[in-house]
């Protein structure tokens, strides 16, 4: 950390010399130290790396300390010159071991223009003719104010734009214009959904099982490497947390876990959207030091950032500065200070460079200046940038296009693309069977640890069954008890089904996790639904058995084991249908309030048409009978339970006359006289459970392809001029 501090101190002294408070004149002599004690050297872009020598040997410190590890000097002297601007790291201790070789991968974008219809009110062009590159072992940051196109450029490089986007230009990986295969890169979203009931090691291990093929010991090794790379050793066996009953990991460590999940694949290139999102200054510096250590292993890091402190800014290797989709500068971070100075906007002393950059190009500051104009007249300038922001942006863009930095970038791009390097290969995927088993086991573990999934519902179901059973207890088996017993069955099925809405938060959490994993192709719609179904079956069976036993004996239904088992099986299938309905509505709404509101409405409508308040044969045929009564699962569940109880029974009426159970129910509920019809109702319930999940499958597939659009290929148009 002393080395980082000395570098940051030197950076501040360099930026101060670039902008003297006395003259505010751009300096023509802008130099900085590459390494402590070295001669001052001007910024230069020399020689593209030799592809045959891009493998660098990595040495990691035993014990996994927090110091920045460094890579040994690569064979290619030209690559050494390219990486000479990176932050020097402390020397490795004697006896350090070689962990593995990592083949570096370069990425180059040339004349990249991205158009998304409706993204901007004033223009569909979110990115306009951007040039740049990122090299192995370096950190390249995309910086700019809000809505400047940072995330769009990052997604364009990773090939993760929506289908509505149109990409013009070229993107090269190791000098080859091709899409990056699975496993060659990792992408970390700004907000990543983690599983709070798992420990860090468990979460990463399940992620490795979903991502990687091969043997288990290799996956464990990849997990331990990821934990070491992100300095998570102290938190490896702690729950991620984040729930109301557990504090969970701090935000900085949660962000590290999200990055470590992508490192399990050991990617060549890592894209991170806002790695400092919601982090304080200390956590932000620690995060960037960790990423600097990761870059020293040969990984290419590209990430977006809105704002940073001076210490964090000093860790970046190269910066791509955007405003309204226009590239105002691309080059080494310290050279950006010289660029602003040359354009007439020197950075004041005691001001963070990133704050100064964003102040100059953020149009929102025009409103602040207008509001504070009277105050400015009395107390001087609010900032050293005293012109209109739009004028400042045009000045910076024009200065960059005519600068030697832009010419050097063009030269570097030409050298990186004139020779094809090794193409990146896919690392393979886990099989669908493996993913299904992993998701099932992981969901079982999550459901067993979190009370909001099924344990709370078990308590509520038992309490409700006890209440209904005691209210309707002592009915006997006379003819007069038939109508009351029908009411008891209706109340039990309807109210317990309504309680299934308590599973909405858990289902929404499952969908969020699936969306996050599907975005990086770690999971799939089919394996997600199968895993969710298989893992829920034991808990639903426990709910059905426990509730059925309490209700069955308190109400005093027929004392027959086979009839009891049918009752439990019917109720289990009913709960299975409920789970599918809840999952469907949660997938559509993606909001807990609207999901609960819609589900309550659906249940009320189904209960009205279930045939208890009015016989199905007497319902209005339009709407209520066709189709509502036929799509209400209450109808088939209640009808099956009543057929199970009354078909084959008789009731004495006086001394010479008797009524069958079917005849006794005619005035209270419509059932079939066929003794096998109860199995037909059970089959219909089973088909409903399958049908709801088929609808969820179609919906999630549609969301992935149309709404999320996470697998968009680059559409390069070489014969069309890129719009400016």
Do 627 and 520 belong to one domain? Answer: yes
Q: What is the model's pLDDT at position 364?
A: 66
- C-alpha count within 13 angstroms, C-beta hemisphere, residue 676: 0
Whether 308 maps to a domain, the answer reads: yes
Range of the domain at 537: 432-708
Q: What is the model's pLDDT at position 101?
A: 44
Residue 480, class by beta-carbon neighbours within 10 Å (0-12 exposed, 13-18 middle, 19+ buried)?
exposed
- Contact between 76 and 54 under an 8 Å Cβ cutoff? The reply is yes
Interatomic CA distance for residues 67 and 317, integer angstroms:
18
- 10 Å Cβ neighbour count for 120? 15
Strands 269-272 and 107-116: unpaired
Cis peptide before 627 (omega within 30 of 0): yes
- 10 Å Cβ neighbour count for 144? 25
Interatomic CA distance for residues 105 and 645, integer angstroms:
70
Do 224 and 288 belong to one domain? Answer: no
Do 681 and 621 belong to one domain? Answer: yes
Our CA angle for 719, 723, 724, nearest 5°, is: 140
Interatomic CA distance for residues 179 and 169, integer angstroms:
13
If you search the block for the tokens 């100064």, which residue do you land on? 356
Q: What is the model's pLDDT at position 160?
A: 86
Q: What is the model's pLDDT at position 123?
A: 63
Tokens of 403: 């600068």
Q: Does residue 241 surpass a pLDDT of 70?
A: yes
Residue 661 φ then ψ, to 5°: -60, -35
Which of 229, 262, 295 terminates a domain? The answer is 262
Q: What is the model's pLDDT at position 166?
A: 87
Q: What is the model's pLDDT at position 704?
A: 60
Interatomic CA distance for residues 698 and 363, integer angstroms:
43
Do 445 and 532 belong to one domain? Answer: yes
Do 276 and 134 belong to one domain? Answer: yes
Whether 722 maps to a domain, the answer reads: no
Band of residue 722 on the pLDDT scale cut at 50, 70, 90: very low
If you search the block for the tokens 């910076």, which residue do you land on? 396
Q: For residue range 450-464, list pLDDT tens digits in order.
A: 888 899 999 999 999
Do 154 and 235 belong to one domain? Answer: no
DSSP-assigned beta bridge partners for residue 56: 102
Lowest mean pLDDT segment, chosen from 68-82, 216-230, 269-283, 706-720? 68-82
**Listed residue (318, 322, 304) closest to 189, CA to CA:** 304
Do 504 and 574 belong to one domain? Answer: yes
Most confident of 167-176, 229-238, 398-407, 568-577: 568-577
Interatomic CA distance for residues 86 and 309, integer angstroms:
18
% of the chain with per-residue pLDDT over 70: 78
- Contact between 567 and 479 under an 8 Å Cβ cutoff? The reply is no
Q: What is the model's pLDDT at position 125?
A: 80
Average pLDDT over all residues of the chain: 79
Do 672 and 552 belong to one domain? Answer: yes
Whether 26 maps to a domain, the answer reads: no
Whether 425 maps to a domain, the answer reads: no
- Contact between 273 and 192 under an 8 Å Cβ cutoff? The reply is no
Is residue 626 within a helix (H) or strand (E), and if so which, with residue range?
A: strand 626-627
Tell which phi-psi region holds residue 449, choosing left (phi > 0), alpha (psi between -120 and 50) or beta. alpha
Question: Cα 707 to chain center, whole Å?
Answer: 14
Q: What is the model's pLDDT at position 585?
A: 95
Of 147 and 292, the one with more pLDDT: 292
- Contact between 86 and 35 under an 8 Å Cβ cutoff? The reply is no
Do 353 and 457 belong to one domain? Answer: no
Do 704 and 581 belong to one domain? Answer: yes
Look at the chain and report how many structural domains it folds into.
3
- CATH number, domain of 170, equals 3.40.50.300
Do 552 and 682 belong to one domain? Answer: yes
Q: For residue range 91-124, list pLDDT tens digits in order.
A: 434 443 334 445 668 999 999 999 887 666 556 7
Most confident of 196-210, 370-384, 388-402, 514-528: 196-210
- pTM of this prediction exceeds 0.85: no
Q: Does residue 720 surpass a pLDDT of 70?
A: no
Interatomic CA distance for residues 200 and 209, integer angstroms:
14
């Amino acid at each position: 950390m002393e080395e980082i501090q000395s570098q940051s101190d030197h950076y501040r002294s360099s930026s101060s010399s670039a902008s003297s408070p006395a003259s505010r004149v751009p300096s023509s002599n802008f130099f900085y130290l590459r390494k402590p004690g070295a001669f001052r050297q001007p910024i230069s872009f020399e020689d593209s790396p030799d592809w045959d020598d891009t493998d660098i040997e990595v040495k990691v410190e035993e014990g996994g300390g927090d110091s920045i590890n460094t890579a040994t000097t690569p064979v290619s002297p030209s690559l050494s010159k390219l990486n000479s601007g990176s932050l020097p790291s402390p020397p490795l201790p004697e006896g350090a071991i070689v962990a593995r070789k990592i083949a570096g991968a370069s990425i180059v974008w040339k004349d990249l223009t991205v158009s998304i219809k409706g993204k901007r009110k004033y223009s569909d062009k979110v990115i306009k003719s951007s040039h740049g590159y990122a090299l192995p072992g370096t950190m390249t940051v995309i910086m700019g104010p809000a809505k400047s196109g940072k995330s769009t450029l990052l997604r364009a490089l990773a090939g993760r734009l929506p289908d509505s986007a149109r990409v013009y230009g070229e993107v090269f990986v190791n000098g080859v214009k091709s899409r990056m295969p699975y496993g060659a890169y990792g992408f970390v979203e700004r907000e990543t959904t983690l599983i709070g009931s798992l420990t860090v090691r468990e979460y990463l291990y399940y992620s490795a099982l979903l991502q990687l093929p091969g043997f288990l010991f290799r996956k464990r090794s990849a997990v331990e490497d990821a934990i070491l790379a992100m300095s998570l050793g102290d938190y490896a066996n702690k729950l991620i947390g984040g729930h109301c009953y557990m504090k969970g990991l701090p935000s900085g460590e949660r962000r590290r876990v999200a990055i470590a999940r992508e490192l399990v694949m050991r990617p060549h290139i890592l894209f991170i959207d806002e790695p400092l999102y919601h982090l304080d200054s200390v956590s932000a510096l620690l995060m960037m030091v960790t990423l600097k250590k990761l870059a020293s292993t040969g990984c290419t890091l590209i990430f977006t950032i809105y704002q940073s402190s001076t210490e964090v800014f000093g860790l970046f290797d190269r910066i791509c500065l955007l405003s309204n989709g226009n590239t105002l500068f691309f080059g080494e971070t310290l050279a950006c200070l010289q660029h602003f100075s040359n354009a007439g906007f020197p950075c004041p002393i005691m001001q963070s460079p990133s704050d100064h950059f964003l102040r100059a190009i953020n149009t929102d500051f025009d409103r602040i200046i207008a509001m504070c104009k009277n105050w400015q007249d009395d107390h001087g300038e609010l900032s050293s940038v005293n012109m209109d922001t739009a004028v400042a942006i045009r000045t910076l863009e024009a200065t960059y296009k005519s600068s030697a930095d832009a010419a050097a970038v063009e030269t570097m791009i030409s050298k990186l693309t004139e020779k094809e390097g090794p193409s990146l290969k896919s690392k393979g995927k886990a099989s669908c069977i493996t993913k299904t088993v992993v998701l099932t086991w992981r969901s079982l573990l999550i459901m067993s640890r979190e009370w909001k999934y099924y344990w709370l519902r078990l308590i509520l179901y038992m309490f409700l069954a006890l209440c209904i059973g005691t209210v309707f207890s002592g009915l006997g088996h006379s003819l007069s008890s038939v109508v009351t017993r029908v009411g008891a069955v209706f109340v039990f099925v309807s109210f317990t089904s309504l309680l299934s809405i308590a599973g909405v938060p858990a289902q929404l959490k499952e969908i969020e996790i699936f969306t996050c994993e599907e975005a990086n192709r770690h999971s799939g719609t089919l394996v997600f639904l199968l895993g969710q179904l298989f893992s829920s079956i034991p808990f639903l069976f426990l709910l059905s058995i426990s509730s059925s036993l309490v209700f069955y004996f308190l109400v005093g239904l027929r004392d027959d084991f086979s009839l009891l088992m049918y009752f439990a099986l019917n109720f289990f299938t009913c709960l299975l249908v409920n789970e599918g309905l809840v999952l469907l509505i949660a997938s559509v709404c993606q909001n807990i309030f609207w999901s609960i509101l819609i589900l309550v409405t659906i249940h009320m409508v189904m209960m009205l048409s279930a045939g208890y308040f009015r016989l199905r044969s007497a319902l209005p045929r339009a709407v209520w009978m066709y189709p509502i009564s036929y799509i209400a699962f209450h109808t088939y569940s209640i009808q099956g339970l009543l057929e199970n109880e009354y078909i084959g029974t008789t009731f004495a009426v006086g001394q010479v006359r008797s009524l069958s159970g079917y005849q006794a129910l005619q005035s209270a509920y419509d059932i079939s006289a066929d003794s096998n019809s109860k199995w037909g109702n059970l089959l219909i319930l089973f088909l409903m459970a399958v049908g709801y999940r088929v609808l969820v499958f179609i919906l999630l597939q549609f969301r992935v392809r149309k709404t999320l659009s996470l697998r968009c290929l680059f559409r390069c148009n070489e014969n069309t001029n890129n719009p400016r």
